[in-house]
Structure 1
Amino acid sequence: MHNVFGTGYLVTDIARIHGGAQKVVYKIDCRNGFACVLYVWDLSRNYFREEIMNDSGSVFQGSYGGGLFAMNNRCFRQHGIRTPALYDLNEGRDRHPFDFALVEYIKGQKAEAYFQHEDPKVRDELFHRVGSMLSNMHAIERNHHGNADSNDESNDRPCFEVQRKHAEKALAYASEHMAGVRENYSVLLDKLYELEAGIEPRDRYSFIHGELGPDHILIDHEHMQPYLIDIEGAGFFDLEHEHSFLELRFGDFYRYLRNTELDDRRMIFYRYAHHLSLISGGLKLLYRQFPDQQFAKSLAEYHARRAIQMASGGSS
């Protein structure tokens, strides 16, 4: 803090902010009234470290570490997409075996806190604002997918094939740890292939967050402006990947975010792939001692039911 801001920034309190599965987050308060956030990318405290070490934990080219955070922070802010400012990033690992960063503290709540807001007008205005921000972000396009700084246009493997391979691994893991998935493994896998087969290739990709639930949007209390957080996994990909996830996570509030120009086949395919991924993700959190064990268990069980329902011909 002294090196970045000066000797006048005397730390008076450091408080752990709970909830993250891939990095450790702290709020830092100073005597002069200043506050900021400390991000620590400590692989030993990451619930998905096995996947990161095997480079198979994301549909993008990795979604972990200070370098990706800095890259996406720069891209978001250059395009006017609100995300907390990056004050300082240390990737030297000379004193510690991890990256860490000091980031702007946004005083407010996550977007999910406004689902039941007492004033419908405030709620409507806020989620229309969120929808406008996402539309602006998704309007950033290019002709190849991957990370924001990637200039490799030689990768002609379609996004849906990348997602399918990820879903295959997720399904294989889930079948090892959940009886219901194991009993329906062949049906679930066949459905994945069936949905993929109906998709036509494309050559335009949108800039997406990659895991955008209402818990990854902070609302500035003073100005009621949305800020995107947990941005390491952002990149250029099929827009339907984002919207199918938004639809899952926002429920009725997805009406504020809806895009009427999406490919229906891609939407169904990605929705199904998300179910498979979230079964696996919930199980990994459960067996790797994530603090909220009930959440992890419920996550896996809910998405297993939804995936089996889709694979059996029922509504998603």
Structure 2
Amino acid sequence: MTRTFLQADDVHELVAEQFGSDSRLARLDRLTGGSKKGVYRLELDDRTTVILYVWAAGENYWPPSPTVPDDPFTDASGAELFVTNHAALTAAGVGIPRLIMLDRDGRYLDADIALLEDAGALRLEALMERDRAAAAAPLATLGDALRRMHTTFGPNYGKLAAITRGEASQTRRTEDIIVDRALGHLDATAARDARLADAHHRIAAHVHHLRGEVAPRQTYALVHGELGPDHVLVTPAGEPVMIDFEGLSYFDVEWEHAWLQMRFGDAYPALRPALRPVDLDPDRLELYRYAQVLSLIEGPLRIADTDFPDRQWMLDLAEWNITKVLAAV
């Protein structure tokens, strides 16, 4: 598809109404890294900066794919999810960007949009690489926030918006959802890669083995869904701010820590105490970790077939995780 991104003239009315008719847009930058929504930094003539989220088809690089119907992490994008999850994280005392304005009526653009405070451009990931000592305080604050999230419980698993609408029913065990998700990702990737096709039965057997070790449980807490140091900004005051939280759901906390373990990599064991984990089931954690590795083959290979601007990065990510999946079998 031909993608057309925002230009300065497109946000003239938005700037005038939100900041006054005397305000002028000095700069408009589309920020890199987003693949489901457009993220723009607006700089006004008085040097004020704000962030604009745009949920539009032309901003979403992801092609459709078969999904597990009750997987709460499927299609985790959109203004409804954002505003519902923003309210829940605010109530839980988690640092997130302040919401300035939400428009779902097309007043300014032919898309749902949100205007947010600008928490800056420094990601926790970059701060850790540059100065691990300086990252200690933000990590500790992040750990406190995670503890609050992981002790905020819901009656069912699922997206918060679906639960609010009464559409989330607890019909299956969460580990069975993740097994179906993992096997679906395996089928999709085995059709594209001969190594995975050859190992398909062994990989599937390993997934079922991991599932067989998991004990039943029905306790669901708030989880970000794909939290890592790239989804945490650090403000000039040193405060961590979570972003990209449309995937927030009530689910097993092991899903969160499987993702944290993957994203923090070799640093995770040393950082784990600072992240203040609740009691974790190691068997559930291992199943979810392996399922996420499979997802990080399927997703990157799928988006690499589109016009996503950093295609090679996605292919490299898929290759890295193919190695990890095969190493287990």
Task: Normalising by structure 2, report the TM-score.
Answer: 0.87
Q: Secondary structure in 2 aligned to 1:50?
A: coil
Aligned to 1:275: 293
Unmatched segments (≥5 aa) in structure 2? 1-14
Q: Deviations over 1:77-98 (max 9, x none)?
A: 1221011111112222477543
Residues in 2 aligned to 1:302 and 1:7: alpha-carbon distance in whole angstroms: 51
Spell out the pairing of 1:159-308 with structure 2 (5 A cutoff). Answer: 159-221=174-236, 223-254=237-268, 255=271, 256-257=274-275, 259=277, 261-308=279-326
1:33 alignment counterpart: 47
> Are 1:75 and 2:88 counterparts?
yes
| Superposed counterparts of 1:79-228, under 5 Å | 79-93=92-106, 96-118=109-131, 120-149=132-161, 150-151=163-164, 152=166, 154-221=169-236, 223-228=237-242
Whichever residue aligns with residue 35 of structure 1, its letter is: T
Given that residues 173 and 280 in structure 1 are in contact (C-alpha distance below 8 angstroms), is that contact kept between their aligned partners in structure 2? yes
Residue in 1 aligned with 2:327?
309
Q: Contact conserved, 1:220 with 1:226, CA < 8 A, in 2?
A: yes
Write the distance in 2 (CA, Å) between the matches of 1:59 and 1:148: 9
Structure 1 residues 157 and 57: alpha-carbon distance in aligned structure 2, compared to 1, 3 A threshold? closer
**For residues 166 and 98 of structure 1, do their structure 2 counterparts lie closer, same or farther at Cα, with a shift above 3 Å needed?**
farther
Structure 1 residues 55 and 154 mapped into 2: Cα distance closer, same or farther (>3 Å)?
Answer: closer
Determine the C-alpha separation between the residues in 2 that align with 1:146 and 1:57: 8
How far is the alpha carbon of 1:156 from its aligned partner? 2.8
1:130 alignment partner AA: L
CA distance in 1, matches of 2:35, 2:121: 21
Structure 2: how far apart are the matches of 1:257 and 1:173? Answer: 34
Q: Deviations over 1:198-242 (max 9, x none)?
A: 222212111010011111000002x10000000101010010001
Contact 2:190 2:200 in 1 (8 A): yes
Structure 1 moving runs of 4+ over 3 Å:
54-62, 93-97, 151-154
SS of 1:121's partner is: coil
Q: Note the residue ranges of structure 1 that are not aligned, 5 or more in a row.
A: none
Number of paired residues?
Answer: 308
Whether the 8 Å CA contact 2:183–2:204 is kept in 1: the answer is yes
* 2:6 matched residue in structure 1: none
SS of residue paired to 2:191: helix
CA pair 84-34 structure 1, distance change in 2 beyond 3 A: same
Equivalent pair of 1:23/1:46 in contact (CA under 8 Å)? yes
Tell me the secondary structure at the aligned position of residue 130 of structure 2: coil
Q: What are the superposed Cα offsets for residues 79-124 of structure 1, whole Å, 9 maximum, x if unpaired?
A: 2101111111222247754311111111240110122334x53232
Secondary structure at 1:291's aligned position in 2? coil
What's the secondary structure of 1:103's corresponding residue? strand
**Does structure 1 conserve the Cα–Cα contact (< 8 Å) formed by 2:70 and 2:177?**
no
Query: Match for 2:310: what amino acid?
Result: D
- Closer, same or farther: CA 193–165 of 1 in aligned 2, 3 Å: same
Distance 2:71 2:320 in 1: 21
Q: Deviations over 1:136-156 (max 9, x none)?
A: 221211231112241547423
**Superposition RMSD in Å:** 2.2
Identify if the C-alpha distance between structure 1 residues 9 and 307 changes in structure 2 by more than 3 Å, giving closer, same or farther. Answer: same
User: Which residue type is aligned with residue 139 of structure 2?
Assistant: F
Contact preservation (8 Å) 1:22, 1:46: yes
**Are the counterparts in 1 of residues 81 and 160 from structure 2 also a CA contact under 8 Å?**
no
What is the deviation of 1:4? 2.6
Identity score, percent: 29
Matched-pair contact (CA < 8 Å) for 2:61–2:303? yes
